[in-house]
Structure 1
């Protein structure tokens, strides 16, 4: 009787998981589709001025593969690149100047703001300095892009045309991340998949919706909207600065668009699991706003949605419960089916879709680890800096 009751409870739990997956399939903004690319656009008669701001900290390893792609932008209007060296110890600034001399192209200015004051992340302090330098040129748009991002020659041109045509204040593309090592193939497509599940791209671009997000590697920002939203001062302590930026712009009445990129690529390698673990865990708990109740709900939700289906199949098969196997397999297949488009986008084989529960379990552990680090006082650590908890950051005067 006890085993029968446990199997029956498992069947009902698996049924809830299946219902959740059917809702996610149809009711979460079709997050699983990967056809949200740059919106329809036409080239303007007069191209606006653009300043490109690149915050860089110890990026000498990737800069030769990325900075020349910015300098070589085929942009009909006036454009200029500002690389802001955020306290690098590997010669990033000197290498940037050497690359500019060697490759030519757009004008490059290299600046350094010094160490960030209390209450600022290093990246946003560097962005503030870069925007300050750019304001002297009075550009209509700012392109905020990371130092590990390589752009196709027409990237800036297409971004500006999309922003002008659609009347967007932010046009952001989720750069295609590197997927070469075994762990990258397992974890990276899922990272983008989970992000889209949290922030369905279709909802972000619609008028009147509250959903807001951007991808920090490639953000075209209207300068007027930046001033209106007080970017970056209003988000100066945000670890997940791209989402914070999009929310600030939307709160100030701006329009935001986010989609997947075709020819904007991250060259940063994450060859080992610990590299990917560090990348995710440094900001996972910040994504949950450092709220233990939200953390508990997230863990429970991940277990129910991602882990219950394979458990139902395994336990149901062992117990001879056809109902548990059928319901669990149904939820598992819907889950895998929603993951297939992302695997195709990353040009990966489709069989890892069945491993999504395992990958979700890894993300669950990364999230818990992020919370543990937070309560140990280690906060969000990145490239030698550890940032304070939000409640420890002094407010602006």
Structure 2
């Protein structure tokens, strides 16, 4: 009974006191075009992305942007012909100028993606752009995406405008896991808190980050975060810690096209960085496991145990906590256009995330760390000097 009451109290706090994280209405404001459109350079790190590039790169090259813009794709040691394909797509579709660079293997102390981003930003600086759009090779943009991002940055005075791309949701496992991934992220980093100038919460979504060049230089991006496995959150903290103003919201017309059809694929996506999020701290891991159990697993368990033991009070309190949990998940399912019967299954999905987090720690202590596309970062750096700014 007391455990169920604790879970209900936690859910009432999350419902009302955690920045209304469960609402999905933090979107780009209506566009207000600036009088003069600033110059933008788009930087795309790409490693073995030939499968998705035909759907993503043309969406960047054909952007309907009134100002000067150019695309820099950095081929990060691909073995599938990513660089050659990028040239072919540029010849076929035309549009914005495209430069393809191959910087070679990253030096010690750098993650591969951030080394590629560094090379792309270095090339872009020769054009002296006012903004940099950092976007992943598996992200497809609507034709007006860049225009809307720049307009929002100018109108709001933001140094970072980032959109959480709508992830692919087609397979059964994607339906169960993907909306919850964004839901949990918003719970950890409430979007409304991120936009506060004096707030401590900072986060971005690495698939789509418009970054003011001056702010990048002031925050020493990407050098200051070169060790970061969770590079988007590290970038936002660095910019905010150096006095920048950031914004993060859900996207309407920016989509991730990378498929995660099997549970194994989703498991790998989450587990490769989950323990890094906890700063490789065993105590934080224990606290996270206990918190996930109390908040997500206790409600259905007390309903079942209360019914079996004849404890109606415990069952009712557990059911109320489960009901609040289910209600907070409904807006995210609607955003992803998924059936609402998935909402009561959130405890099952949370249990999967609990196991993924534990597995992430196990892989870390086995020396495998954050493995991705042939590279393994056995001990990703999460030292305080690797990130400028405050923790959430």
Under a length normalisation based on structure 2, what TM-score does the superposition of the two structures give?
0.97
1:142 to 120, 132, 149: 132
**d(CA) in 1 for partners of 2:39 and 2:340?**
43
**d(CA) in 1 for partners of 2:178 and 2:192?**
21
- TM-superposed CA distance for 1:85, in Å, is 0.2
Cα offsets for 1:21-57 (capped at 9, x unmatched): 0000000000000000013541111100000000000
Cα offsets for 1:335-392 (capped at 9, x unmatched): 0000000000000010110000000000000000000000111010000000131469
**d(CA) in 2 for partners of 1:259 and 1:392?**
25
**d(CA) in 1 for partners of 2:382 and 2:54?**
38
1:198 to 172, 175, 188: 188
2:26 to 15, 20, 36: 36
Residues 391 and 256 of structure 1: CA distance in aligned 2, closer, same or farther (over 3 Å): closer
**d(CA) in 2 for partners of 1:269 and 1:392?**
29
Q: Tell me the SS of whatever aligns to 1:153.
A: coil
- TM-superposed CA distance for 1:324, in Å, is 1.1
How many pairs does the alignment contain? 385
Cα offsets for 1:144-196 (capped at 9, x unmatched): 00000000000000000000000000000000000000000000000000000
Residues 392 and 313 of structure 1: CA distance in aligned 2, closer, same or farther (over 3 Å): closer
- Alignment match, 2:277: 287
Contact preservation (8 Å) 1:39, 1:166:
no
Contact preservation (8 Å) 2:279, 2:382:
no
Residues 210 and 61 of structure 1: CA distance in aligned 2, closer, same or farther (over 3 Å): same
Describe how 1:81-160 pairs up with structure 2 within 5 A.
81-160=71-150
- Alignment match, 2:200: 210
CA RMSD, 1 decimal = 1.1
Q: Unaligned regions of 5+ residues in structure 2, if any? A: 387-392
1:331 to 321, 336, 341: 321
Q: Which runs of 4 or more aligned residues in structure 1 lie more than 2 Å from their structure 2 counterparts after TM superposition?
A: 390-393
Describe how 1:122-271 pairs up with structure 2 within 5 A.
122-271=112-261
Contact preservation (8 Å) 1:150, 1:265:
yes
**d(CA) in 2 for partners of 1:131 and 1:39?**
28
- Alignment match, 2:289: 299
- Alignment match, 1:57: 47
**d(CA) in 2 for partners of 1:259 and 1:388?**
32
2:268 to 278, 285, 306: 278
Larger Rg: 1 or 2?
Answer: 1
Cα offsets for 1:71-122 (capped at 9, x unmatched): 0100000000000000000000000000000000000000011000000000
Q: Tell me the SS of whatever aligns to 1:144.
A: strand
Q: Tell me the SS of whatever aligns to 1:378.
A: coil
**d(CA) in 1 for partners of 2:378 and 2:225?**
14
Q: Unaligned regions of 5+ residues in structure 1, if any? A: 1-10
**d(CA) in 2 for partners of 1:392 and 1:65?**
34
Contact preservation (8 Å) 1:41, 1:166:
no
Instruction: Please say if 1:389 is aligned against 2:379.
Output: yes
Cα offsets for 1:294-328 (capped at 9, x unmatched): 00000000000000000000000011111011000
